[in-house]
């Protein structure tokens, strides 16, 4: 006898939330734990209900589904997160996978595909809408662009980027690297240009995401 799968739903659309809730409640294969319009209390909910699988929208109030997925996986790595969204762009896809989601379905998926995906992800698989799976395959099958040598960060710029990631102020960077504030600003401007970012926060996110430091 198959084990009943405990499922929670996070979806801000009342219409879709209602239809998915009805689907999950009416199936003996699932123990439906509840539907939530935003993931503001998701860690508390996970502690209380201990879901096996979370169906997660991306665009929600208070916190988006990618941020929520990262929070859940950091504290409850055993919980499987299945993204259910309208977004097909590669950035959202890879951000979701990096956050810890194990599956990615589009909202136009058929009911049977959603049910099969819940079973698949619970059993250790990574269900994806075919068009999404193709994007993943295309990404890894194409030769990745080699960085322009002129855009490669120098050793000094990497040192300063590490300081930014650590949260150091310009003054602290100047003191730690034995350079003037003007030189710090010059290096940081070059870092922004090479990383194609416009702010310290964007530089830090890119540094962590691409493991530059």
Q: Domain count for the chain, please give it.
A: 2
Lowest mean pLDDT, pick from 114-123, 129-138, 158-167, 180-189: 129-138
Residue 20, SS3? helix
Among 116, 141, 166, identify where a domain stops: 141
Look at 81 and 211; give whichever has higher pLDDT: 81
With a cut of 70, say whether residue 144 has pLDDT above it.
Answer: no
CATH number at residue 192: 1.10.10.10
Q: What mean pLDDT value characterizes the chain?
A: 89
With a cut of 60, say whether residue 146 has pLDDT above it.
Answer: no
The range of the structural domain enclosing residue 97 comes to: 5-141
Domain shared by 102 and 175, yes or no: no
Domain shared by 157 and 133, yes or no: no
User: Tens digits of per-residue pLDDT, 24-64?
Assistant: 999 999 999 999 999 999 999 999 999 999 999 999 999 99
| pTM across the whole model | 0.67
Task: Note the helical H segments in the chain.
Answer: 14-25, 42-49, 65-75, 90-99, 111-122, 130-141, 155-165, 170-177, 181-195, 200-209
CATH number at residue 87: 3.40.50.2300
Q: Which residue has the tokens 């003037």?
A: 180
Closest CA to 211 of 173, 168, 176, 161: 161
* DSSP letter assigned to residue 131: H
Among 96, 121, 141, identify where a domain stops: 141
Domain shared by 122 and 157, yes or no: no
Domain shared by 107 and 172, yes or no: no
């Amino acid at each position: 006898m198959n084990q009943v799968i405990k499922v929670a739903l996070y979806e801000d659309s009342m219409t879709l939330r209602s239809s998915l809730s009805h689907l999950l409640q009416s199936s003996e294969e699932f123990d439906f734990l509840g539907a939530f319009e935003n993931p503001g209390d998701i860690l508390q909910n996970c502690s209380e209900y201990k879901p096996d699988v979370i169906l997660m929208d991306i665009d929600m109030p208070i916190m988006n589904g990618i941020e929520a997925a990262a929070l859940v996986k950091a504290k409850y790595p055993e919980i499987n997160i299945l993204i259910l969204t309208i977004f097909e762009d590669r950035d959202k896809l890879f951000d979701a996978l990096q956050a810890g989601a194990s599956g990615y379905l589009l909202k136009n998926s058929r009911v049977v595909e959603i049910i099969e995906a819940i079973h698949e992800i619970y059993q250790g698989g990574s269900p994806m809408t075919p068009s999404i799976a193709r994007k993943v395959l295309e990404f890894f099958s194409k030769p990745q662009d080699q960085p322009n040598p002129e855009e490669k960060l120098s050793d000094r710029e990497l040192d300063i980027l590490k300081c930014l990631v650590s949260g150091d102020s310009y003054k602290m960077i100047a003191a730690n690297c034995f350079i003037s504030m003007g030189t710090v600003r010059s290096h940081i401007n070059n870092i922004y240009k090479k990383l194609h970012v416009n702010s310290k926060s964007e530089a830090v996110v890119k540094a962590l995401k691409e493991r530059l430091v």
